[in-house]
Amino acid sequence: MSERKIIDARGTYCPGPLMELIAAMKQAEVGDELEILSTDEGSVNDVPEWINKVGHEMVGTTQEGDVWHIVVRKAK
Amino acid sequence: MKILIVGGGMGGTIVANNLARRIGTEVRAGKAQITMLSASDRHMYQPGLLYTSIGRLAPDELYRDQRSLLEPEIEFHVDPVETFDLDNNRVVTKSGKTHSYDQLVIATGSRAAPETIPGLAENSVNCYTEAAALEMLRQVRDFKGGTVAVVVGVPHKCPMIPLEVTFVLHDYFKDKGIADKVQFQYTYPIGRLHALAPVADWAKGEFARLGINTTTLFNMKEVDGNKIVHSEEGETVDADLLISVPPHRGMEVIEKNEMGANGFIPTDRLSLRMEGRDNVYIVGDTTNLPISKAGSTAHFEAETVAENLAALIKFGTTVRDYDGKVFCFIEAGKERATYAMFDYNNPPAPKAPNKAVHWFKMAYNQLYWASARGLL
């Protein structure tokens, strides 16, 4: 597994955190972890919804102030 | 100070003109130099391609002579860069010339890359190049009925295009008198109809009113020869006419010089400097910033960079940060439009579409040239 890739999508609305994650996931290798930083509370639900539907893995979600750190792993 | 601008699109042109107005005195006195290197002697108004794809804007109306858009203080060469030697503050062009610089601006843009999804280039049309828009016009004009599917890759240039092309084609077929023979299937990568939640909410009502079917969380994996699109999420969409918003990449020269994955250069979101480089600024689609790849983004970034480059000469320091500002028109059919404006700290709150904004967009199709000159 390579170093965890950070996607800083704080304060961005368009294309937004999930779309950035989808784009980054295409470039990742199976087993890679990606951490997305989002100030959009909706990401807490949006990201797991997509991750589960496409078949990747949720690693965890934490909140630091108004920033959510959502970590996922490419599974296929 | 030698300032070199690589790229003659919206971002590079505004940087050059805005800067020339600020430091014209220094340039004429020989204390500063502004040089632009571009791959083309023509400048395209890229948003016009949507109108070309339905026959409402002729291809020749998309272009102006690039030199005619530039302030006289700007030295302009049609000679694209092939090698960036950032450690030695110089670039080498296709013709073999070397240009050195004190400050470098890279604004080479992005390109649609339908070839990155198996089957997409062969089985869909899009409006991201003149040739593609003319092919789209041919297929749209000849379409007699069936399912029109809109599929969207990430990242893509012009975030409003998926909605706009759907609304515009809906009106096109309605005017043609075949609306009852055409079904629309709109797809989108995330779990709503647009990245911007208020725009998605508005589109949901409009699509319901127009009878447009939707599938969300749909990311293209491949397209087979029968125009059946398979998604990463395991679903399929069938089309008789497949309209694509292909995934985009940065320019090949960026990839070849290993300056950023997929041709997008790692950029500081506030200073717009290339990460790890104090004298290299990145503007427009070329950045890897998670913000809209749109002309307005390039415009507002370019104003920031030009002001800071001028400030380096006049104050010896930069004077402001980019605030993340983006402004996008949203065509909601053939005669109504609205807009979305937002920045890093203020979310968008688009109003209901109306005719006045549509006509302003029509006017902007011409005003763009004043904007590129740095006048608007």
3-state secondary structure B202-249: HHHHHHHHHCCEEECCCCEEEECCCCEEEECCCCEEECCEEEEECCEE
Coil vs helix vs strand at B34: strand
Same domain, B117 and B243: yes
User: For residue B95, what is the DSSP state?
Assistant: T
Contact A15 B326 (CB under 8 A): no
Q: Which residues 74-103 of B have a C-beta within 8 angstroms of A?
A: none
What are the structural domain ranges in chain A? 5-73
Instruction: Spell out the per-residue pLDDT of chain B, length 376, in tens.
Output: 999 999 999 999 999 999 999 999 999 999 999 999 999 999 999 999 999 999 999 999 999 999 999 999 999 999 999 999 999 999 999 999 999 999 999 999 999 999 999 999 999 999 999 999 999 999 999 999 999 999 999 999 999 999 999 999 999 999 999 999 999 999 999 999 999 888 899 899 999 999 999 999 999 999 999 999 999 999 999 999 999 999 999 999 999 999 999 999 999 999 999 999 999 999 999 999 999 999 999 999 999 999 999 999 999 999 999 999 999 998 887 889 999 999 998 888 888 899 999 999 999 988 999 999 988 7
Nearest residue on chain A to B221, judged by CA atoms?
Answer: A26
Same domain, B133 and B191: yes
Instruction: Return the pLDDT at B350.
Output: 84
CA geometry: angle B336, B48, B244, nearest 5 deg: 85
**What tokens were used for B222?**
């491949």
**What tokens were used for B42?**
């023509």
Nearest residue on chain B to A22, judged by CA atoms?
Answer: B154
C-beta separation of B34 from B20 below 8 A: yes
CA geometry: angle A61, A66, B303, nearest 5 deg: 115
DSSP percent split of chain A into helix, strand, coil, nearest 5:
30, 35, 35
CA A20 to chain B, closest CA, distance in angstroms equals: 6
The CATH H-level (homologous superfamily) assignment of domain A5-73 is: TusA-like domain (3.30.110.40)
Please state whether the peptide bond connecting residue B72 to the residue before it is cis, i.e. omega within 30 degrees of 0.
Answer: no
Q: Which amino acid is at B47?
A: P
Same domain, B203 and B316: no
User: For residue B71, what is the DSSP state?
Assistant: -
Same domain, B78 and B177: no
Share of chain A above pLDDT 70, in %: 97
Contact B292 A54 (CB under 8 A): no
Beta-sheet pairing, B236-238 with B228-231: antiparallel
Same domain, B187 and B143: yes
User: For residue B273, what is the DSSP state?
Assistant: B
Q: Which amino acid is at B325?
A: K
For tokens 């763009």, what's the residue?
A: B368
Same domain, B142 and B232: yes
The residues, any chain, with a CB within 8 Å of residue B142's CB and separated by 6 or more, are none
**What tokens were used for B374?**
């740095």
pLDDT tier at A2, thresholds 50, 70, 90: low
Same domain, B34 and B84: yes
Residue from the list A15, A16, A27 with its beta carbon closest to the beta carbon of B262:
A27
C-beta separation of B233 from B129 below 8 A: no
Residues of A with CB under 8 A from a CB of B: 7-20, 22-23, 26-27, 42, 46, 49-50, 53-54
How many Å apart are CA B41 and CA B49, to the nearest integer?
19
Contact B191 A49 (CB under 8 A): yes
When pLDDT is averaged across residues A22-50 and rounded to a whole number, the result is: 94
Residue B56 in domain: yes
Contact B217 A27 (CB under 8 A): no
Contact B290 A54 (CB under 8 A): no
Helix residue ranges, H only, B115-158: 120-123, 130-142
Nearest residue on chain A to B262, judged by CA atoms?
Answer: A27
Residue that is last in its domain, among B221, B248, B275: B248
Enumerate the residues of chain A whose CB falls inside 8 A of the CB of residue B189.
18-19, 22
Q: Which residues 337-376 of B have a C-beta within 8 angstroms of A?
A: 340, 342, 344-345, 347-348
Number of domains in chain B: 2
Q: How many CA atoms, within 13 angstroms, populate the side-chain half-sphere of residue A4?
A: 14
**Enclosing domain of residue B240:** 113-248
Enumerate the residues of chain B whose CB falls inside 8 A of the CB of residue A37.
none
Same domain, B28 and B74: yes
Contact A15 B340 (CB under 8 A): no
Same domain, B105 and B125: no
Burial state string for B282-302 with b = 16 or more CB within 10 A and e = fewer than 16: bbbbbbbbbbbbbbbbbbbbb
Instruction: Return the pLDDT at B334.
Output: 81
Enumerate the residues of chain A whose CB falls inside 8 A of the CB of residue B232.
54
Q: What is the CATH number of the domain that holds B270?
A: 3.50.50.60
Please state whether the peptide bond connecting residue B155 to the residue before it is cis, i.e. omega within 30 degrees of 0.
Answer: yes
Check CB contact of B200 with chain A, cutoff 8 Å: no
Same domain, B123 and B239: yes
The residues, any chain, with a CB within 8 Å of residue B24's CB and separated by 6 or more, are B71, B73
Same domain, B258 and B170: no
C-beta separation of A18 from A47 below 8 A: yes
Residue B41 in domain: yes
Q: Is the pLDDT of residue A18 over 80?
A: yes
Residue B370 in domain: no
Indicate if A19 belongs to the active site: no
Determine which one of A2, A3, A13, A14 is catalytic: A14
Check CB contact of B197 with chain A, cutoff 8 Å: yes
Picking from A3, A7, A13 by the largest number of B CB atoms within 10 A of its own CB, the best residue to mutate is A13
How many Å apart are CA B263 and CA B108, to the nearest integer?
10
Same domain, B172 and B284: no
Enumerate the residues of chain B whose CB falls inside 8 A of the CB of residue A54.
217, 219, 232-233
Enumerate the residues of chain A whose CB falls inside 8 A of the CB of residue B219.
22, 54
Helix residue ranges, H only, chain B: 10-28, 49-52, 66-69, 120-123, 130-142, 161-175, 197-210, 252-256, 295-314, 355-372
**What tokens were used for B145?**
């009925």
Contact B290 A7 (CB under 8 A): yes
Residue B364 in domain: no
pLDDT tier at A75, thresholds 50, 70, 90: very high
